[in-house]
Structures are given as structure tokens and as C-alpha cells.
């Protein structure tokens, strides 16, 4: 039995920050106002009107008024959750007091925004005692305004060694009678300040990648039933780099990532969703090449690999410096080793349904077969792989489907785009998988 969660959402793909007040614009709330009206794949799962680092200190008081005004006006129709970030610092009582005042004002029911506010984001937290101080302020805000205890969720930015260590204590602290840390929701990395806090240095001055922090955050979230989110990717026009980062993160179980621009929101909303169709890959000399679907199978169109029949049922396969003459079954074996397959949503659903049917028929383990015809240098090679599937395989394979189902359930505004991407019948089948038990 996994740790029970306090929130309905199991996945957050996007954590989108917007400056709350920008000097020089005729309307200082311009960015807030446009972000509040996003929908579909352009709207984030969580939107963070950011009254901390994204907003100049001199504009933060106006930022609070802007949050109240824009969220009151557009909050009811905004499709994601809204979690403003307020100021806070583990070493600075005056910052903590300011953060408390900001929450108190934004959450005042008389101001009309709180009905659409899901929680607040607290930056620069320190050790677990500091998290509890922030939590106590939430309790006071709720009590002061007659809000239901625990109704405002708390997310934190993990940007110090102290906060990183505190994540290891959550499992034993959450639920203690002396706090209300059950209100915790997202653990969000903040690599820039973390680097400063850790005194990290690189020759180029670039940000270290901190895979350990991301692992620890994902582990902390998993152990405490929370949601892990990676920090900002500030090379905002580098779409490929952003995708590489998200791919690395997902392998660690960290599905969410910060988005700084509306363009990043779209990328990060789509990236964790399964592809619409499967893709065969051929690995050649350390490089991965996508094969093209043609009527007869999947074709390799490059010239790094050559394959020709030599008579006597033998084939000559040349890749880089390797030159081999093989019979058909040896060729099939070599080609299987060179290929990889990325499942599409339809493949995933097929496999899940096949295992569910086998389970219903009383089988605990089955051989799941995948076969294809690959065309290399005009020569067809039929390949087949068998993988053992048991309950554990099935449960692990469920993660991308659970993500899909979570998105579908929580984001009705994305239904149309999902149906366009996958086709209505695959969407319907994907929603039915895993619901038997």
C-alpha cells in the first residue's frame, strides 16, 4: 500500500511562474492577466503568480493587489490550480513576516480571490522546523479568515542543503499532532539558489546539473505522498535542451518542471504524455536513428548500414568497421540487438489489455510478443521479441497511463487536443485500463 496522498492530482506537469507587477507597462498586471486566460495545452497544471524572485522588491506590494484583482476576475475559469509564491527566508524573520502578511491579504475572503486560490508556494525554506513555521502561518491565515483548516496547500522551493535534508524527515513528521504538514503538495527544486547555498562552482559559471538533488526530491516526494517538480530551465529558447532535461527527470520519477514562458508550458504539458504512435529506432555506432513507417514495415533510409543477400541463404551486414556474414536467424538476432522501440499510447493500451485478459483467465505471467518487419538497404528482416510480463511489469507500465488518466480527469479543457492527438477510441480505451481491480 503506498502512502496516501492528500491531493487528488497525482501528477503535475507544469509549474508556471508569472511576475505579479512589472514597472513600465501601462498595466503592471499585464503578464498576470494574459497568463490567467490561458487554456488547453497552453495553460499550466499549476500557475504561480510569483511575488518573490520574478517580481522586483519595489513592486511586490502592488503585486499582491494585482494577484487579488486578476485571480478574482479570472480564477473561476482558469483550468489549472493557482498557487501564488510569497516571500520567505529561513534566516530572515522580517521576510517571513512579510510572507505571512502577503498570504493574509491574498486569502482575505473580503478581497474575493481566495475561492480560486489552491495554496501558496514558500521559497527559501530551511530545516524541518522552518517548514513548520510556514505551516503555522497557513493555519493562522485559515483561522483568521474562517477558512477550513488545511484547505490552503503549501508547496516549498527546495533551494538549500537544509531543505534537502528536511525532505528525509517528512515521512515521520507529517501527521504529527503538533503540525499540519499534511497540507504539503509540491516539492520544487530551485537549482540557482541551491548552487549558491552549496557553494557550487563550475569552470564556465554554468549551473551544475545536480542530479542528486533531483533524485532526492523525487524520493522525498514519493516517500511522503507529494509531487516533485524540477526547477527553472533558464535557457528559454533551447527547446531541445528542455526536452532532454525532462526526459532525464521522468526516468527519476520527477514528472513536473518549472516553466518560465508560455512556450515552455506547452512543451512541458505535452512532453510526459505518451507518443501518439510507436517508433522503431536503430542504434548505429552510438547514434539512434528513427525508422520510417512504410507499407511493408519500417525502413532505414540512411547509408551507415548496408545489407545484401550473398546467396546460400546468407546475408552480409556492414555497420561502421563491422562486416559480418550471417544466416537468417543470426541476422535477426543481430538486428534485434540493434533496435529499440518507443511505445505509443495505442501499444501501451494493447499490452495492458492483453495482460488484463490473461490475468482474468487465471495467468500470472505471460510472454508479450512484439514483432515487426524492418527494411534495411531494401532487404526485409522480420524480427520478434518476447518479454515476460507479470503483475510488477504491468504496474510499472501503468505509470504513463496513470499520468494520461490524471491529465484527462483534471483537465477537461485539454480533451479536444487529446482526442486530436490520439483519436477518440484510443483515449476511451486508455481511460478504461487499470480500472478492473
Ligand X SMILES: CC(C)(COP(=O)(O)OP(=O)(O)OC[C@H]1O[C@@H](n2cnc3c(N)ncnc32)[C@H](O)[C@@H]1OP(=O)(O)O)[C@@H](O)C(=O)NCCC(=O)NCCS
Q: At what angle do helices 424-432 and 345-360 cross, to 10 degrees?
A: 40
Q: Is 30 helix (H, G, I), strand (E, B) or coil?
A: helix
Nearer of residues 29 and 174 to ligand X, judged by Cβ = 29
| Minimum distance of ligand X from residue 19's CB (angstroms) | 5
User: Looking at 190-272, which runs of residues are DSSP E strands?
Assistant: 227-230, 256-259
- Residue 130 annotated to the active site: no
Q: What is the DSSP string of 116-185?
A: G--EEEE-S--SHHHHHHHHHHHHHHHHHTTPPTT-SEEEEEE-SHHHHHHGGGHHHHTT-TT--GGGEE
Termini Cα distance of the chain: 14
Tally the C-alpha atoms within 13 A of residue 170's C-alpha that lie toward its C-beta: 30
Catalytic residue among 235, 337, 390, 413: 390
Nearer of residues 208 and 263 to ligand X, judged by Cβ = 263
| Minimum distance of ligand X from residue 59's CB (angstroms) | 12
Across-strand partners of 121? 85, 155
Nearer of residues 54 and 352 to ligand X, judged by Cβ = 54
Nearer of residues 18 and 405 to ligand X, judged by Cβ = 18
Nearer of residues 246 and 282 to ligand X, judged by Cβ = 246
By the 8 A CB rule, do 27 and 33 touch? yes
| Minimum distance of ligand X from residue 77's CB (angstroms) | 17
Nearer of residues 260 and 291 to ligand X, judged by Cβ = 260
| Minimum distance of ligand X from residue 56's CB (angstroms) | 11
Instruction: Kindly list the residues in this chain that would bind ligand X in the complex (CB under 6 A).
Output: 17-19, 31, 34-35, 50, 53-54, 232, 236, 260-263
Which residues touch 424 (CB under 8 Å, ≥6 apart)?
A: none
Using CA atoms, how far residue 192 sits from 125, 197, 199, 231, 371, in Å, is 14, 9, 11, 8, 47
Cell representation of residue 250: 521522468
| Minimum distance of ligand X from residue 37's CB (angstroms) | 10
| Minimum distance of ligand X from residue 181's CB (angstroms) | 24
Catalytic amino acids? Answer: 390
Amino acid at each position: 500500500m503506498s502512502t496516501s496522498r492528500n491531493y487528488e492530482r497525482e501528477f503535475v506537469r507544469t509549474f508556471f511562474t508569472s511576475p505579479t507587477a512589472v514597472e513600465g507597462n501601462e498595466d503592471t498586471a499585464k503578464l498576470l492577466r494574459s497568463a490567467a486566460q490561458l487554456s488547453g495545452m497552453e495553460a499550466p497544471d499549476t500557475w504561480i503568480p510569483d511575488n518573490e524572485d520574478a517580481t522586483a522588491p519595489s513592486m511586490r506590494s502592488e503585486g499582491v493587489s494585482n494577484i487579488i484583482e486578476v485571480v478574482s476576475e479570472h480564477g473561476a475559469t482558469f483550468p489549472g490550480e493557482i498557487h501564488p509564491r510569497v516571500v520567505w527566508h529561513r534566516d530572515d524573520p522580517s521576510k517571513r513576516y512579510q510572507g505571512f502578511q502577503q498570504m493574509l491579504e491574498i486569502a482575505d475572503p473580503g478581497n474575493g480571490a481566495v475561492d480560486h486560490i489552491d495554496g501558496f508556494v514558500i521559497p527559501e525554506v530551511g530545516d524541518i522546523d522552518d517548514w513548520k513555521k510556514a505551516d503555522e502561518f497557513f493555519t493562522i491565515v485559515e483561522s483568521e479568515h474562517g477558512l477550513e483548516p488545511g484547505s490552503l496547500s503549501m508547496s516549498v522551493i527546495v533551494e538549500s542543503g537544509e531543505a534537502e535534508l528536511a525532505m528525509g524527515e517528512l515521512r515521520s513528521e507529517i501527521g504529527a499532532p503538533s503540525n499540519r504538514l499534511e497540507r504539503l503538495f509540491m516539492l520544487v527544486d530551485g537549482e540557482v539558489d541551491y548552487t549558491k547555498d552549496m557553494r557550487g562552482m563550475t569552470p564556465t559559471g554554468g549551473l551544475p546539473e545536480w542530479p542528486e538533488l533531483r533524485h532526492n526530491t523525487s524520493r522525498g516526494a514519493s516517500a511522503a505522498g507529494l509531487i516533485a517538480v524540477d526547477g527553472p530551465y533558464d535557457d528559454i529558447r533551447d527547446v531541445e535542451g528542455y526536452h532532454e532535461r525532462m526526459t532525464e527527470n521522468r526516468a527519476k520519477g520527477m514528472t513536473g518542471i518549472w516553466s518560465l514562458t508560455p512556450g515552455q508550458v506547452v512543451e512541458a504539458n505535452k512532453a510526459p504524455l505518451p507518443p501518439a504512435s510507436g517508433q522503431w529506432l536503430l542504434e548505429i555506432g552510438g547514434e539512434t536513428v528513427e525508422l520510417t513507417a512504410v507499407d511493408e514495415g519500417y525502413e532505414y533510409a540512411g547509408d551507415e548500414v548496408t545489407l545484401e543477400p550473398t546467396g546460400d541463404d546468407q546475408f552480409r551486414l556492414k555497420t561502421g568497421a563491422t562486416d559480418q556474414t550471417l544466416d537468417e536467424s543470426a541476422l535477426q538476432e543481430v538486428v534485434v540487438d540493434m533496435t529499440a522501440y518507443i511505445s505509443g499510447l495505442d501499444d501501451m493500451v494493447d499490452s495492458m489489455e492483453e495482460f488484463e485478459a490473461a490475468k482474468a483467465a487465471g495467468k500470472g505471467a505471460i510472454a508479450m510478443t512484439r514483432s515487426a518487419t524492418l527494411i534495411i538497404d531494401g532487404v526485409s528482416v522480420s524480427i520478434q521479441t518476447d518479454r515476460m510480463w507479470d503483475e510488477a511489469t504491468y504496474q510499472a507500465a501503468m505509470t504513463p497511463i496513470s499520468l494520461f488518466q490524471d491529465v484527462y480527469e483534471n483537465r477537461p479543457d485539454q480533451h479536444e487536443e487529446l482526442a486530436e492527438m490520439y483519436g477518440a477510441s484510443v483515449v476511451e480505451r486508455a481511460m478504461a485500463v487499470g480500472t478492473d481491480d
